[in-house]
Amino acid sequence: MSNVKQTDQGAARRLDFICGVVLAVLSLVALVWVIPAAVPGEASRGEVAPSFFPKLTAGIIFICSLALAVLNRDALRANARIGGWTILGEIAGWGVLATIIMLLLIHVGLVPASILATAVATVVARYRGHWGIPVVVAIALPFVLRFGVQALFSIELP
Give pLDDT tens digits along the chain (158 positions): 344 455 556 667 777 888 889 889 999 999 999 888 888 877 777 777 888 888 998 999 999 999 999 998 887 776 656 566 666 777 777 788 888 888 888 888 888 888 888 888 787 777 777 788 888 888 898 888 888 888 887 777 76
Res 151: pLDDT: 84
Three-class secondary structure of residue 18 per DSSP: helix
Res 33: pLDDT: 92
Res 9: pLDDT: 66
| Phi and psi at residue 157, to the nearest 5° | -85, 155
Q: If we measure between CA atoms, which residue out of 97, 41, 35 comes closest to residue 62? A: 35
Is 78 in contact with 14 (CB distance < 8 Å)? Answer: yes
Q: If we measure between CA atoms, which residue out of 72, 57, 64, 61 comes closest to residue 18? A: 72
* ∠ CA 85-6-64, rounded to 5°: 70
Q: If we measure between CA atoms, which residue out of 51, 12, 10 comes closest to residue 34? A: 51
Q: How many helices (H) and strands (E) does the chain have?
A: 6, 0
